[in-house]
Every structure is written in structure tokens, then in C-alpha cells.
Chain A
Amino acid sequence: MNETLTCALVEERALVERYVADTLTDAHGRADFEAHVIACPRCQDEIRLAMTVRAELAPLVAGARSARRVWPLGLGIAVAAGVAAIILSRASGTATRWQDLGAVPVAPIYLGVEVRGTPVRGDSLFALAMKAYDDRRYDAASAGLTAALAAGTDSAPAEFFLGAALLMRDRPAEATAAFARVIALGDTPYLGEARLYRAKALLREGGGAAALSELHAITPNSNAVGAWARALADSVEGRMQR
């Protein structure tokens, strides 16, 4: 875009808020905003304030939103729904029982992959698809990644993010299959997370035992992924014993 911004324009377009919420993309002038910010102490201060507000506000807003989703229906309905949910979850291994543990509120972030020696056509399709993924257009991302795979792009990242995009579209069965293909590739940088997110997809489908098996297959010392997998496995096991 290459536009010279002023503080007034920054405020009018809510650029600070969009920047800290990460909804300000390159297409919407992120580079222009950053060029303004590095020379503007006022906007730097506004970013620090916005980051603080967001960090402090997120739990308050999340709590208020989830409370509102329940209470307007009335206490009687809520109690009835709760009882029904308990009966359903105890009666079988349905998806309902594991839905919360299988939730993926935010897609795994994409920060680029290493450039290989000779690019193939699929690489440009992959780049386009990942642009859609970064923009949270998961329909376009999954279609683009499927095309990139067909055109010969590196399959580990493409299959992994295809699985992630399908998960974000609430298509757990297809996501499970995509993550399984990443796992079948063996020791790639995506292996641990592929197992973790496959477990999530399996939980969404109601497969508590299968998810647990996948989580146990994650190498215990594999940093944050390992820690998260252990925590999720504990939750699944705890629920199974109830």
C-alpha cells in the first residue's frame, strides 16, 4: 500500500487494536502501520496499553460470553440440558463426551518453512494456501493445500496444515486422515504436533481410547508439545475413570 499514516488515521482505522489482535494483515496495511509505529512514541505507548488491555480483558470477556450463552435460556433449561449431557456422556463413548477436550480454539500458527533447493509449482500453491490459512480462510486454505499436494509440494507441512484447516472447519474425520499421513512420513518436524492434533480430532469424533493411544506415542521430552500431550492425556484418562 505504501501509505504514510498519521496518528489520527491510526485511531480512525483502529489499527492498534487490530494489530494487537493480529487481524491487521499485510493486505490491510500492516507494513505501513509498522513504519509509522517505529517513528511514533505515541503509537508505541498505545500498543503497550492495547497489549495490556487485551491480556487483562481476554479472561473477563471469555467468562462473560460463556455465562451469557447459558443463562438466558433459564435455569430450568440449563439444568435439564446439564442432566441430559451427563446421561448422554455416561451412556456411551459419544463425541459429546470429549468435545471440550477436542476443542481447538486457535489454529496452529504458521511461521514459514525452510526454502528448498529447487522450487516446484506446488510450492507457490502452498504459499497461496498458507496466506489463506494465515487469514483464517480455512475453506480456501484446505482447497489450496490439496492442490499444492497434487502439484508436488513438500508433503509434511502441506498435510499438517491441511489437517489443521480441516479441524478448524470442524471436519474431524478428514483431519484425522490428514494427520495420519503426516505421522506416516516418520520423523519430520511436524510429527509431535500431528499426533497431538490427531488426538484432538479423534476426541471430536468420540474416540477417547484412540486419542489416548496417539497422545502416548508422543515422545515425552518433546518440549511444549510433550507437556501439552501429557496434560491432555491426563484429562482423557481422568474422564475415562469417572
Chain B
Amino acid sequence: MTLKAVRTEWESEAAAASLEPLRPGLHLLAVRSLGTADAAEEAVQETLARAVAALARDQLADPTKLPAFVAGIARHVIADMQRARYRLVSLESLPVAAHPSYHPDALKALVLAEERARVRAALLSLSESDRDLLGLCYVDGLAPTKIAERTGEPAERIRKRKSRAVERLREAFHGARAPRHAEARLPTWEARATGGDRP
């Protein structure tokens, strides 16, 4: 093996290692779009392989843009996989809610049954007006400013009500365990870019 080949291999391994912290996030995006853990894993592997190759070719000018760079690759990979699997998907063929984001397989792949059960119980313990507010946020996808325009209630008050309700749901969702972000290590490029502060 030549010195150049050794160096190339070492650089590829270093690139792969630097991409590894992005794997959980890529997996989440892929599961949500593709619906199953298997398809998502395939998308993640393909994304990381393309990213390593691109890094080896020095296609990333600004290292702080690595997440955006990889997310862009993932979008293409996922779109290619979707095109290959379907030309058309009927939302009405899905039994729950109304969108592939909420394909039962996607939710099952990302969320434990007990987490769902705890959130369900917490939702039922909220007042009806708080559930209505959360419905406007999570079902209709409206920002507090839009809800304020619709209901006439001040946006700041809506933010506070929403924040309180979501905090109860968050506590229920996490149960006894700490939120994952508290345990997670800061990715190396992010530490370099921000001096260790969370973005």
C-alpha cells in the first residue's frame, strides 16, 4: 500500500467518523419520509456514503456547513427512494390522521408505545381549551402569531399557554429519563464552529 493510499484511507475513516454524530438525525428525517426503519437505514447509509465521497473530493468549502451539506444529500437520496417506490400515494389509504408523516410505521419506528401512552394520558389531563390550542399548533401547523390572528388572543399569551401545556407533555413523554439532548455529546464540527455552545 502506498503512502497516498494510506492517507486516503485515513481521511475517509476520519470523514466517516465526523459524520457519525449526524446519523440519528438523518435516521429521524428518513423514517418520517419513508415510513419504515429498514428503508430509513438504507437512506442513511447511502447518504453517509455519498457524503464521505464528497468530502474526499473536497466538495465542502466551509466545514461549519457540514450538517446543511449532508442534509442536502439526504433530501436527494430520500426523494430518489420515494420516486423509486411510488409514483403516487393515496393519503386516504392510510388509516391514521391524514399524512405520511404519521404513517403508523414511522411513529412506531421512532416512538415507544409507553411514550405514546404517557402523552395520551397527559393530553387527556389538559383542559379542552389547551387541547384546542395544541390542535391548532400540531394538527393545523399554525404558529402562535397566526393563532393570535385567528382567535384575537394576544400572541404572547398564546405562547405562554402553549409553552406550559407542551412542558407537561414533554415531561410525560420523557417519563423518568432525562431528555436525550442533555446526554448527547456535541458534534465535533459544531464544537469547533461555536466554541462549544449549542446552536
Binds A, one of B7-15, B22-30, B35-43, B53-61: B22-30
Interchain CB contact (< 8 A) of B101 among A51, A111, A228: A51
Is B132 located at the chain interface by the 8 A CB criterion?
yes
Interface-located stretch among A78-86, A102-110, A205-213? A102-110
Q: Are B173 and A49 in contact (CB under 8 A)?
A: yes
A58 touches B90 (CB 8 A): no
A37 contacts B173, C-beta separation under 8 Å: no
With A39-B21, A51-B111, A54-B102 known as contacts, the answer to whether A21 contacts B181 (CB < 8 A) is no
Q: Which residues of B contact A49 (CB under 8 A)?
A: 119, 166, 169-170, 173
In the bound complex, do residue A22 and residue B88 qualify as a contact, i.e. CB atoms below 8 Å apart? Answer: no
Chain B residues, Cβ within 8 Å of A65:
135
Stretch from A2-10, A124-132, A138-146 at the B interface: A2-10
Q: Provide the bound-state CA to CA distance between A147 and B26, in Å.
A: 38
Main secondary structure of the interface of B (DSSP, over half): helix
Q: Which of A4, A41, A57 contacts B180 (CB 8 A)?
A: A41
27 contacts between A and B (CB under 8 A): A20-B138, A21-B138, A21-B140, A22-B101, A23-B140, A35-B67, A40-B198, A44-B24, A48-B173, A49-B173, A51-B102, A51-B107, A52-B107, A52-B111, A52-B115, A55-B116, A58-B135, A60-B135, A61-B132, A65-B135, A107-B91, A109-B88, A112-B82, A114-B87, A189-B88, A193-B88, A225-B93
A108: nearest chain-B partner, CB-CB: B90
Residues on B facing A (Cβ under 8 Å):
21-22, 24-26, 28-29, 32, 66-68, 70-72, 74-75, 79, 82-83, 86-93, 96-102, 106-107, 110-111, 115-116, 119-120, 123-124, 128, 131-132, 134-135, 137-144, 166, 169-170, 173, 179-181, 184, 187, 190, 198-199
Residues of A within 8 A of B123 (CB): 53, 56-57, 60
Query: Are A52 and B28 closer than 8 Å at their CB atoms?
Result: no
The residues of B that contact A237 with a CB separation of less than 8 Å are none
| Shortest 10 CB-CB contacts between residues of A and residues of B | A21-B141, A38-B25, A224-B93, A23-B141, A42-B181, A61-B135, A35-B68, A39-B67, A41-B184, A14-B143
Distance (whole angstroms) from the CB of A208 to the closest CB of chain B: 19
* Residues of A contacting B: mostly: helix
A32 contacts which chain B residues (CB < 8 A)?
A: 68
- Confirm or deny: A18 has a beta carbon within 8 angstroms of a beta carbon on chain B: yes
Q: How far is B187's CA from A42's CA once the two chains are assembled, in angstroms?
A: 13
Contact B179 A45 (CB under 8 A): yes
Set of chain A residues within 8 Å of B92, measured between Cβ atoms: 104, 106, 108, 228
Say yes or no: A189 contacts B116, CB within 8 Å: no
**Besides A31-B75, A49-B166, 13 other A-B contacts (C-beta < 8 A):** A17-B142, A20-B141, A21-B140, A38-B71, A41-B184, A51-B101, A54-B139, A64-B131, A64-B132, A104-B92, A112-B83, A190-B87, A225-B93
- Cα distance A113–B88 in the bound complex, in angstroms: 8
Distance in Å: Cβ of B132 to nearest Cβ of chain A? 7
**Chain A residues within 8 Å of B139, by CB:** 21, 54, 57-58, 61
Which residues on the B side are within 8 Å of A40 (C-beta)? 25, 181, 198-199
Interface size class of A (residues with CB under 8 A): 35 or more
Please tell me which one of the listed residues B116, B138, B180, B199 contacts residue A45 in the complex, with CB atoms under 8 A apart.
B180
Structural contact, B179 and A42, CB atoms closer than 8 A: yes
A57 touches B134 (CB 8 A): yes
Q: Does A137 touch B at the CB level, under 8 Å?
A: no
